[in-house]
Amino acid sequence: SLFPGHDLLKEDTKLVAGIVDSPKPPPQRITLTFRVLNGGMTRRVVFCGAGSSKGPILRAVFATDNDFDTLKRIEIDGADVLEVVYADPAPYPCGMVRPQVEDEPVVDWVVDKDALEGMVAVVGSGGECKL
């Protein structure tokens, strides 16, 4: 668990770090650091989110300006997928996760319809991901 503004966002020596002052319960957790997530040690990252409380985070992580119908739709393993682009700069740690793998979608966002409510298409610069 990486939280906005937390000191662990700057951790660059450890691969896994403990957090004892989480702003959300439980207060004690462990987390992979950006060194692992972005440093070539990770082939794929999956974010899961459900419920309308995730909508504002998704809208901030992906700079939203257009209708979802305008997004590039692709098929991966029989599933319809929307191709989106991160907002830059990233407003939340999840938007800062950008694994270094070539020629492969490396960040997957699995979210429910409630999380997408009010979401519009994504424009901006930064790393690509699949939604």
Work out whether the CA dihedral 10, 34, 129, 29 comes out positive or negative.
negative
pLDDT over 50 (residue 91): yes
What is the predicted pLDDT for the residue at 108?
84
pLDDT tens-place string over residues 62-80 = 876 545 555 566 666 776 6
Q: Provide the mean pLDDT of the chain.
A: 79
Q: Give residue 53's Cα distance to chain centre.
A: 15
- Would you report the helix, strand and coil content of the chain in percent, each value rounded to 5? 25, 30, 50
CA dist 52 and 21 (Å) reads 26
CA dihedral for 49, 95, 19, 52, sign (positive or negative): negative
Residue 52 has pLDDT above 80, yes or no: yes
Average pLDDT value for residue range 41-66:
84
